[in-house]
Structure 1
Amino acid sequence: MNAHITKLLYIILLLIAPVAANAQGAKPTAGSISGQLQNEQAKPMDYATVTLLRGKDSSVVKSTLTNDAGKYQFDNIISGRYIIKATTVGYQPTFSPVLEVEADEIHAPVIKMQQSSRNLQGVTITSSKPLIERKLDRTVMNVENSVLAAGNNALEILERAPGVTIDKDDNISLKGKQGVTVMINDKLTYLSSAQLSALLRSTDGSTIQSIEIITNPSSKYDASGNSGIINIKLKKNKQSGTNGSLTAGAAYGLNFRDNTSLTLNHKQGNFNFFGTFSRGDITRQNNINIDRVVDSASTSTYFKQLTSMKNSVHYNNYRFGADYNTSAKNTLGFVISGDYTNEYNDNNSKTSLGLTPDANDSYQNTLSKIKQTYRNIAVNLNDKIQIDTSGQELSVDLDYSKFNNNSFANYDTYFFKPDGSSLAPTLFLRNTTPSRITIYTGKADYTYPLTKTLKLETGIKVSSVKTDNDLKAEINNGDGFINDTSRTNRFVYDEKVSAAYVNLGKTYKNTSIQAGLRAERTSSNGNLVTNNQVVKRTYTDFFPSIFINQTLSPKHELGISYSRRIDRPNYDNLNPFRFYLDQYTYEQGNPFLKPQYTNAYELNYTYNKTINVSLGYSRTTDVSAEVLLTDTIKKATYQTRANLQKQDSYTININTPYTITKWWTGNINVTGFYQSFKSDSLSGGMLNNGQAAFNARTTQTFLFAGSYKAEVTAFYQSALTYSIFKIRPQYTVDAGVSHSFYNKKLNLKLAVSDIFNTRRNNVSTNYQSTNLVVRQKNETRLGRITLTYNFGNSKIKSREHKTGSEDEKGRVKSGN
């Protein structure tokens, strides 16, 4: 780790030491209850549900799960009389004696749970987690039992999460802001937006447990992600013995697609093995119409472009690992995951050109066939040590990831006069683009409860990333293909980040406070080898965060938070290679992109643990924004990223679940926002764009006799402004129904997405010499059928492990 960060962490710990010493000597002012659950053999009951009930009326105050040692704790408890209720599958509900809580810590007697001897055949359990659940620092979308998850992939499910939108290029926005960090099982993905969307498309919805939305993360998390973190939690079979599930699904819209996944788990004694394999074939259609005008000194040229894109993907994803409890306090584990994916693109682009809007002076037809292969693997080694029974623990993660992506493309362009006769010789181009990305990360996290109400968290992390992209471009000169020196290039990028953080959390009677500081030192080197163009950067940043939560009364809670964050450019955004749709339309990276910084503030109010209202403000400087620019000499329009001066964002979010009857429940999520973009040097002009906008999503859930469940979701996004773009409104309605039978081991789900086929992406811009309108329609209306069979034993939950390399992998391009 860098010496500067070591010194910083040392200084922070010296500053905290007197505070901790004083806190240890002071009498805690908040009441707390802690205890342990055991079975008849006095063994810990891990991951059981523990509920705190009021003694006077048995109303629910809080609920939690026991940890691996069967222990639980409730903090910030108002003085009074309480009862502990413990429940878990296969055991009788068990209650503690009445506990009197004052301004001290209460150690509840050990609760002994007895196995249930009742015959449960014929009993129907209809309770389940709500689809949308609000927690202290995050919103959770419980995907596991949702009907709409059936047959959808992870990207399609993510579109249904509160406040999340995905644009025509699969860029993810949260509450109207791009720059979202996506994690999988608390691990950064280190993927570019294109690779991330490919990975999420190849992840079956049946393998997802939940999606967590964290709009203002603490210093414990990597500082990347200006609009927050989306954490996708994958299922890990939680049962003892040997068990698993098999899922098969099919869907049809304009094209057919299918998916299959198998999950296995074996737990015996101190050993637990788990594994998931999924495969599938996805074919989808995408039609794009682009009308644009290119103004030069003396003339204007009008373009009308019609593009039909057919994309076919065959994917194989796997994830397996094992945990071994070497002792009651130490668990060693490993996780290996990867994907083996082939993708084919067959595009047909027709472009007409004229000096007036209605004239067709010439036209061209570009046929492109692109094959991409993705061979990716990630390995994680982890160790978790419970140092003592007070909650002191140390966890260590070592990660290695290797991404091998290859692209082979052929572009054939034919030129015609208005009457259809040939205008010029056919242009034949082809590209080979091997890409290699290697990532090493190591991190350690330490937790030390100084008292029952004061907790210290600290840790370090180092990462090393190297990307190597080698574009080999060729052109046919009539005698065969030769090297195209104007396009051939190689780009090598190295990045090293060292980080350290410290968090200090304190709970009082009705107040909890957490303050933290994270330091990150970055060294990067971007080398455009062919042009001998090198961009080097070294910088150290500090990222403070603070969270204050106040319980005003049993039904009213208030929270305020602040954090500073950074977004380093994705690797493909730095890559200056050009990727063509045709000679007038292409995409290229910007090796001179700088990181962007965000200061974010949020105020949260929660009523009765259900209705949540949040107000937010953030300012981002050096905004890395997607823009369209025009080369007026070549009359070409290209997509790239540029640093704008600043972005201001104001948001309000309201989320409320509700119950109409015992069989009809719902949830409404509404986000309003205003965001403005300013730049005084974009393409030689002044940019000052801003607009108020909102999106709303409502989900209705219906439970019927005979284990039938139905869901209907409606979504609306108003018109909005992003960077130089005006984005038109869009809306969609989804519906699905499921039925469980064969003792709930078999589940059948039927669903239709975008029932009325209304989901479109229509974008326009008129800035400087760029004047265009884009109308895009993807294949969004799909009918799905999914069948899931659960088999094996089902008693005890196993450990869920989170690895340490998610941030770096989130910036890599992946191909599913």
Structure 2
Amino acid sequence: MKLNLLVVFLFIGQLCIAQNTLTVRGKIVDANSKKPLEFVSVIINSNKTNQPITGVTTGIDGTFELKTKEKDINVEVSFIGFKTIKINTVKKENDVANLNTIELEEDAQQLDEVVVRAEKSSTEFKLDKRVFNVGKDLSSTGASAMEVLNNVPSVNVSIEGAITLRGGQGAQILINGKPSVIASQEGNALGTIVADQIEKIEVITNPSAKYEAEGTAGIINIVLKKNDKKGWNGSISLNTGIPNNHSIGVSLNKRTEKFNIFSQVGVGKRTFPNESKSYNINRTNNNEILSKGEGDKNEQFYNITLGTDYYINQYNVITLSGNFAYEIEDEDSKTQFDQIDGNNATLNSSYNRFEITEATNPKYQYELQYKKDFKNNKEQSLLFSALGSFFGKDQSSEFKNEAIVGIADPNQKTRTDFKEAQYTFKLDYTHPISETYTIETGAQYVLNDVTNDYAVDNFQGGTWVNDASLTNIFDYKQNVLGIYATAAYEGEEWGVKLGGRLENTDLNTVLQTTSQENAQNYTNFFPSVHTSYKVSNNFSIQAGYSKRIYRPRLWDLNPFFNIRNQFNIFTGNPNLQPEFTDSYELTSIHKIGKLNLNLGVYYRNTTDVIEDVSSFDTSTGVTTRMPQNFGTSKITGFEANYKVNLTKWASWNGDFNYNLFNRKGQFDANNNFDFEGSRWDTKSTIKFKLPESFDLEVSGNYRSKYKTAQGTVSKNAFANLGLRKKIIKGKVILNLGIRDLFASRIFESTQEGTNFFSSSSRQRGRFVTFGISYGFGKGEAMEYSARKRF
């Protein structure tokens, strides 16, 4: 009740103040065509301080309206490709300044230079998130979203595609703010998104209640580009590389008064080499199993995207879009297995295991979105979206064993029929009560339906015999309903945002071959608090708290495993429970001359931690990893992000993350997993502007060695290099990118228990890619040129 009265009093006070607010309005048109210009930037500056007060962009009809308490002002109007206008004398009548129609003239020189904009990635801080604006980083030529994420502060991606945020597993990946099977970390789905499709990546380590509560480490939201400049815009790109990496992409966009039609077509072929090693020791008899292998994964991909925005009027727009992608995979590998008697160093058996895998992966997504803006307040909006997506995999593998010493195991083959469908319905309403107070509310319903049909056959007695112990059909259904509300105050110096979210989870899994079922239904409340204080123009402080959940995903629960390496396997656990995290952080933002520096400390307390636990079968020598719930995890960390312009032709940016962790957990009578440790990682990038329109970029990544529940993960370091050349006044761009320059990106880990020790390593090697792109159209369309490969 007291809180409600406080809000009412603040609202009434704000209304009283608003009576003396100056309203500035007008309309922007092209001086030549006299047609309205949309997205023109209009900024109000104070004549007393020469600092910006507020700003807005024009609507589809070219109109704008701003409100300010300051009376001594000037107005600045700017738009890419046009000359900037500054209105120093603003005439007022009854607290209204009507600037009428303002005509902008084209600036030919600026049109030639527009191609250099947005070429450098940058990070900006907002009240409850960090926004990494994706530029044309040179080493990202031909790269997928996975490689781009490796450039984002606080984010790391392993060679297997596992994504960690500040070193923590369990980050929720979103596409344009919504869940999608395309954002799944399984099946290389994120590999279908490429660097030049991405406008920005939002890293939300402490999400507000507006965002779904999934992801104990936080949320990574990938926002895709959509060109909406008037007229025809587009790009054509070609890429080639070593190992095998060839693609062609075409992007076209047509904007009229009522419609914005956008399309992308891409086709290509790429290869991912792989080298692996593993080592198992049976400590009960000292027997050893060694494996060493290499192989190639080849992909052909075809993609088409088509969508349209229909502007019903100035305040209502409907968007309908769809994407279809199809991949053809083939994978071949050779692995040698040696079984050694450790007591007398005798080679008991040795054989080669050859794999041939073929798969087809259809993927499609469709979305209907409706957005309503309101006449009296351009920040007020209602947004509804309905999203459907599907990912399938029809895969078959044959494993042939050839003896070198002794007798080889029987040949095997597997079959996988995987289907995942996901539907998301989302409604968001934003209502600014005043210039400083805003409320948000909404709801989201996510339905996920998965079936995985997996079978293993062994070649016995001249015929294929099904292995019932390794064959199963696993059904997974999870529905999550969430509702939320937030209230925010954001003044010139201080801001605060309070929120609460209620989510109900209904999960059902069935292992059809054994009729084993797991049904869970639970409801949880997730509060959030965020605040910021601007000490000065060069120093700000932010603080936040949120409660998060990590729900076990399909591969955590599914008993399916891959038999590529028979002696090191992973299987899911249908009985897993969700883990919960309370997350706190404090960040300071500094601007010191040419240096932008952000320092932060954070603390995460997680219960019912999900951790992979390895067990060893002494009779077969097989190590099996399975996720389990046990214990708590407390992590305290420090993080620094920095960017400095060293000279007019060189800049340096990077980040550093260090944390201490304390794990407590008793898995069973024989396994106490209490341990402490630390880990740190850093990224650094230096960019140079060279003569003759050349740009050079060098970046390095390092991750320290750290402890796990049963072993260690080794240190890892690698470097990337990129070179760019602009020709034909910047309309054509040539890119050369080298990822993992020294082929040093090797992922190694160990596990051990009372009766075993095992280690494994993987490496993919160096990638070299050359690309050429041509962008055409008006305004910022040139910034969107390059590889539209999915």
Look up the equivalent residue of 1:504 and give its one-letter code.
Answer: A
Change (3 A) 1:522 1:789: same
How far has the Cα of 1:290 moved from its partner?
Answer: 1.2
Instruction: Provide the rounded CA distance (Å) in 2 between the counterparts of 1:464 and 1:411.
Output: 36
Instruction: Provide the rounded CA distance (Å) in 2 between the counterparts of 1:364 and 1:153.
Output: 36
Name the structure 1 match of 2:690: 704
Instruction: Provide the rounded CA distance (Å) in 2 between the counterparts of 1:74 and 1:728.
Output: 56
Name the structure 1 match of 2:407: 423
Q: 2:80 aligns with which of 73, 89, 92?
A: 89
Look up the equivalent residue of 2:273 and give its one-letter code.
Answer: Q
Name the structure 1 match of 2:767: 782
Name the structure 2 match of 1:359: 346
Asked if 2 retains the 8 angstrom alpha-carbon contact of 1:719 and 1:726, the reply is: yes
Say whether 1:373 aligns with 2:360: yes
Say whether 1:26 aligns with 2:18: no
Deviates more, 1:89-98 or 1:550-559: 89-98
1:189-209 C-alpha deviation (Å, 9 max, x unpaired):
24686536x122232323222
- 1:585-734 maps to which residues of 2 (within 5 A)? 585-608=568-591, 610-681=596-667, 684-734=670-720
Instruction: Provide the rounded CA distance (Å) in 2 between the counterparts of 1:634 and 1:191.
Output: 38
Say whether 1:341 aligns with 2:327: yes
How far has the Cα of 1:764 moved from its partner?
Answer: 1.7
Instruction: Provide the rounded CA distance (Å) in 1 between the counterparts of 2:160 and 2:521.
Output: 31
* Matched position secondary structure for 1:226: coil
Asked if 2 retains the 8 angstrom alpha-carbon contact of 1:143 and 1:149, the reply is: no
- 1:149-548 maps to which residues of 2 (within 5 A)? 149-190=140-181, 194-195=185-186, 198-252=188-242, 255-296=243-284, 299-356=285-342, 358-390=345-377, 391-416=379-404, 420=405, 422-423=406-407, 426-548=409-531
Asked if 2 retains the 8 angstrom alpha-carbon contact of 1:181 and 1:228, the reply is: yes
1:97-120 C-alpha deviation (Å, 9 max, x unpaired):
47899xxx9976548543324542
Say whether 1:120 aligns with 2:115: no
Q: 2:560 aligns with which of 563, 577, 591?
A: 577
Change (3 A) 1:371 1:90: same
Change (3 A) 1:683 1:410: farther
Look up the equivalent residue of 1:275 and give its one-letter code.
Answer: S
| Aligned-residue CA RMSD (Å) | 3.1
Change (3 A) 1:603 1:657: same
Instruction: Provide the rounded CA distance (Å) in 2 between the counterparts of 1:278 and 1:217.
Output: 34
Look up the equivalent residue of 1:48 and give its one-letter code.
Answer: V
Q: 1:741 aligns with which of 720, 727, 749?
A: 727
* Matched position secondary structure for 2:576: coil
Look up the equivalent residue of 1:120 and give its one-letter code.
Answer: Q
Asked if 1 retains the 8 angstrom alpha-carbon contact of 2:545 and 2:583, the reply is: yes
Instruction: Provide the rounded CA distance (Å) in 2 between the counterparts of 1:121 and 1:387.
Output: 34
Q: 1:38 aligns with which of 21, 27, 43?
A: 27
* Matched position secondary structure for 1:188: coil
Look up the equivalent residue of 1:477 and give its one-letter code.
Answer: Q
How far has the Cα of 1:492 moved from its partner?
Answer: 0.8
How far has the Cα of 1:490 moved from its partner?
Answer: 0.9
How far has the Cα of 1:662 moved from its partner?
Answer: 1.2
Instruction: Provide the rounded CA distance (Å) in 2 between the counterparts of 1:71 and 1:562.
Output: 39
Asked if 1 retains the 8 angstrom alpha-carbon contact of 2:228 and 2:260, the reply is: no
Asked if 2 retains the 8 angstrom alpha-carbon contact of 1:92 and 1:114, the reply is: no
Look up the equivalent residue of 2:47 and give its one-letter code.
Answer: G
Deviates more, 1:541-550 or 1:680-689: 680-689
Change (3 A) 1:51 1:734: farther
Asked if 2 retains the 8 angstrom alpha-carbon contact of 1:96 and 1:111, the reply is: no
Instruction: Provide the rounded CA distance (Å) in 2 between the counterparts of 1:628 and 1:107.
Output: 71
* Matched position secondary structure for 2:552: coil
* Matched position secondary structure for 1:464: strand
Name the structure 2 match of 1:811: none
TM-score (norm 1): 0.88
Instruction: Provide the rounded CA distance (Å) in 2 between the counterparts of 1:32 and 1:710.
Output: 50
Name the structure 2 match of 1:48: 40
Instruction: Provide the rounded CA distance (Å) in 2 between the counterparts of 1:182 and 1:46.
Output: 32
How far has the Cα of 1:744 moved from its partner?
Answer: 2.1
Asked if 1 retains the 8 angstrom alpha-carbon contact of 2:498 and 2:528, the reply is: yes
How far has the Cα of 1:631 moved from its partner?
Answer: 2.5
Change (3 A) 1:334 1:251: same
* Matched position secondary structure for 1:461: strand
Instruction: Provide the rounded CA distance (Å) in 1 between the counterparts of 2:36 and 2:384.
Output: 24
Instruction: Provide the rounded CA distance (Å) in 1 between the counterparts of 2:668 and 2:70.
Output: 60
Asked if 2 retains the 8 angstrom alpha-carbon contact of 1:512 and 1:549, the reply is: yes
Asked if 2 retains the 8 angstrom alpha-carbon contact of 1:439 and 1:465, the reply is: yes
Instruction: Provide the rounded CA distance (Å) in 1 between the counterparts of 2:678 and 2:44.
Output: 43
Instruction: Provide the rounded CA distance (Å) in 2 between the counterparts of 1:107 and 1:732.
Output: 59
Instruction: Provide the rounded CA distance (Å) in 1 between the counterparts of 2:395 and 2:574.
Output: 21
* Matched position secondary structure for 1:573: helix
Change (3 A) 1:53 1:784: farther
Name the structure 2 match of 1:803: none
Name the structure 1 match of 2:786: none
Instruction: Provide the rounded CA distance (Å) in 2 between the counterparts of 1:34 and 1:294.
Output: 79
Change (3 A) 1:451 1:193: closer
Name the structure 2 match of 1:6: none
TM-score (norm 2): 0.91
Look up the equivalent residue of 1:153 and give its one-letter code.
Answer: S
Instruction: Provide the rounded CA distance (Å) in 2 between the counterparts of 1:685 and 1:192.
Output: 35
* Matched position secondary structure for 1:178: coil
Change (3 A) 1:84 1:166: same
Say whether 1:791 aligns with 2:776: yes
Asked if 2 retains the 8 angstrom alpha-carbon contact of 1:369 and 1:409, the reply is: yes
Look up the equivalent residue of 1:55 and give its one-letter code.
Answer: N
Change (3 A) 1:166 1:736: same
1:358-386 C-alpha deviation (Å, 9 max, x unpaired):
43222232222222221111111111112
Name the structure 2 match of 1:805: none
Instruction: Provide the rounded CA distance (Å) in 2 between the counterparts of 1:133 and 1:99.
Output: 35
Change (3 A) 1:67 1:517: farther
Instruction: Provide the rounded CA distance (Å) in 2 between the counterparts of 1:248 and 1:151.
Output: 9
Deviates more, 1:460-469 or 1:471-480: 471-480
Identity %: 23
* Matched position secondary structure for 1:201: helix
Instruction: Provide the rounded CA distance (Å) in 2 between the counterparts of 1:32 and 1:175.
Output: 44
Q: What is the count of residue pairs matched by the alignment? A: 772
How far has the Cα of 1:668 moved from its partner?
Answer: 2.5
Deviates more, 1:687-696 or 1:597-606: 687-696
Instruction: Provide the rounded CA distance (Å) in 1 between the counterparts of 2:561 and 2:424.
Output: 31
Look up the equivalent residue of 2:232 and give its one-letter code.
Answer: T
Name the structure 2 match of 1:808: none
How far has the Cα of 1:782 moved from its partner?
Answer: 2.0
Name the structure 2 match of 1:807: none
Change (3 A) 1:193 1:92: closer
How far has the Cα of 1:598 moved from its partner?
Answer: 1.0
Asked if 1 retains the 8 angstrom alpha-carbon contact of 2:696 and 2:722, the reply is: yes
* Matched position secondary structure for 1:222: coil
Asked if 1 retains the 8 angstrom alpha-carbon contact of 2:175 and 2:224, the reply is: yes
Instruction: Provide the rounded CA distance (Å) in 1 between the counterparts of 2:97 and 2:164.
Output: 45
